[in-house]
């Protein structure tokens, strides 16, 4: 069996240490290691008129090492799990870059680093007799800003890669664009998905993101993000159960982890009966998005909100349900770059003002996109008016079990459901 391609890990913003090389000895100006944290904000500030220099002189600030505390586990998993033979591990190289600089500067360095990684890997004995040596390539793995850097780099250097035989497969992937928010076809036939995609994060994230990445993202619970010991980080407790659950806690219960699923598009896709196509070295499979995002479960020893295995990737999302009317409503603390405190996706087939078929899915309130079959049964074969919309909203939240600090989400979600249903009833 052929060995996997070497991996280049591109970390997120602030995850590369910075040092001033003018000082003797060189001084670390930015680091977040286990032993010490250094954040010299003034000394790493760039001059507004010339980005080659810092505001405070003398200084020559350069990228140092990728922060091990954030990526050590990921690097080890990639190195050993991509190869069945422990003696033939896959090399993983971390790309350190100055995250203060414009993307084009870091992208030019990344292109040169790709060539360096290929040259280094050719020197490894177990790769010299492997089929990889005839068609050397690399896998790029990005986190946060690293993902943006990779995507923009590939788009910027597409002609450079096209000229190289070993990069042709990558060019094919680049020419598949994700632009759900602006798609005229989606806005006409699947408004709920276009509207949900249009409020994901920020325009920059939407332009460079993917639908598969959005539905597979991990939770944004602040206890997990701040390093608390919990089920997802190796602990045996969920702090949301008795702690601050205002924004990220489920009101519909949960198993182990009580953090709500953060995706906007997953809620819309669940309202369209979407099916997820998955492939791995063992073959392919197809699964409904409701089964794919079934809440927090153990998969290969990891607690995650989807059923994707370590060796699987999402390749396609199929949308079989075609509504005549659909919409997405979201409430967030900020209008941009924020997750839903509560949301609802409604898709329906309405003829002669009567709702013949519909889907009502709640977001931001459960560990998975929560579909309310109770509300759907209540509204099916009825006309949507203020009375029926109010009854549907009550039915959608009848199973709510809020935590100590997020009971307000119940009434907030009822309001969103009511507004979404009335907006459909007004469109004939």
Where exactly are the structural domains of the chain? 7-174, 180-318, 325-425
pLDDT at 183: 62
Residue 151, SS3 per DSSP = helix
> Token match 């560990």: residue?
367
At 355 the pLDDT is 93
Task: Give me Rg for the CA atoms of the chain.
Answer: 24
pLDDT for residue 34: 62
pLDDT, block means (10 residues), the chain with 428 residues: 85 90 86 77 86 80 83 84 82 93 92 93 91 88 86 80 50 38 71 91 75 90 89 91 94 94 96 92 91 91 90 87 92 87 96 92 98 97 95 98 97 98 78
Is the CATH code 3.90.550.10 the one for domain 180-318?
A: no
Residues with Cβ within 8 Å of 14's Cβ and at least 6 positions away in sequence, in order, are 30, 32, 99
- CA pseudo-torsion sign 151, 153, 154, 159: positive
Domain 325-425 sits in CATH at 3.30.390.50
Beta-bridged to residue 61, according to DSSP, are: 20
**Looking at residue 427, what is its pLDDT?**
56
Domains 180-318 and 325-425 share a fold: no
């Amino acid at each position: 069996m052929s060995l996997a391609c070497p991996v280049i890990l591109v970390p997120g913003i602030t995850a590369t240490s910075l040092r001033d090389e003018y000082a003797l000895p060189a001084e670390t100006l930015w680091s977040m290691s286990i032993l010490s944290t250094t954040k010299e904000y003034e000394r790493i500030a760039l001059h507004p008129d010339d980005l080659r220099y810092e505001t405070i002189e003398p200084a020559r600030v350069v990228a140092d090492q990728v922060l091990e505390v954030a990526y050590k586990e990921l690097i080890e998993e990639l190195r050993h799990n991509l190869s069945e033979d422990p003696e033939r591990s896959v090399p993983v190289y971390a790309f350190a870059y100055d995250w203060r600089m414009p993307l084009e500067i870091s992208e030019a360095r990344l292109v040169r680093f790709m060539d360096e990684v290929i040259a280094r890997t050719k020197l490894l004995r177990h790769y010299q007799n492997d089929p990889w040596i005839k068609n050397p390539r690399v896998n790029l793995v990005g986190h946060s800003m690293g993902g943006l850097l990779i995507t923009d780099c590939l788009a910027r250097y597409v002609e450079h890669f096209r000229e190289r035989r070993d990069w042709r497969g990558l060019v094919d992937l680049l020419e598949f664009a994700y632009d759900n928010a602006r798609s005229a076809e989606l806005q006409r036939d699947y408004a709920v998905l276009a509207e949900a995609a249009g409020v994901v994060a920020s325009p920059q994230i939407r332009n460079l993101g993917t639908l598969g990445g959005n539905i597979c993202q991990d939770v944004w619970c602040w206890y997990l993000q701040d390093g608390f010991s919990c089920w997802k980080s190796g602990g045996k407790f969920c702090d949301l159960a008795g702690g601050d659950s205002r924004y990220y806690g489920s009101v519909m219960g949960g198993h182990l982890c009580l953090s709500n699923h953060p995706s906007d598009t997953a809620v819309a896709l669940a309202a369209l009966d979407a099916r997820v196509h998955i492939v791995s070295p063992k073959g392919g499979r197809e699964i409904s998005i409701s089964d794919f995002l079934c809440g927090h479960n153990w998969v290969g020893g990891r607690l995650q909100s989807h059923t994707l295995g370590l060796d699987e990737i999402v390749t396609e999302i199929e949308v079989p349900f075609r509504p005549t009317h659909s919409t997405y409503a979201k409430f967030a603390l900020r209008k941009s770059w924020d997750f839903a405190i509560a949301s609802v996706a409604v898709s329906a087939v309405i003829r002669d003002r009567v709702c013949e078929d519909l889907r009502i899915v709640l977001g931001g309130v459960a560990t998975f996109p929560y579909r309310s079959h109770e509300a759907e049964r209540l509204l099916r074969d009825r006309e949507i008016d203020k009375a029926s919309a109010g009854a549907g909203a009550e039915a959608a939240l009848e199973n709510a079990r809020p935590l100590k600090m997020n009971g307000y989400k119940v009434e907030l979600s009822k309001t969103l459901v009511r507004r979404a249903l009335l907006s459909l009833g007004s469109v004939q």
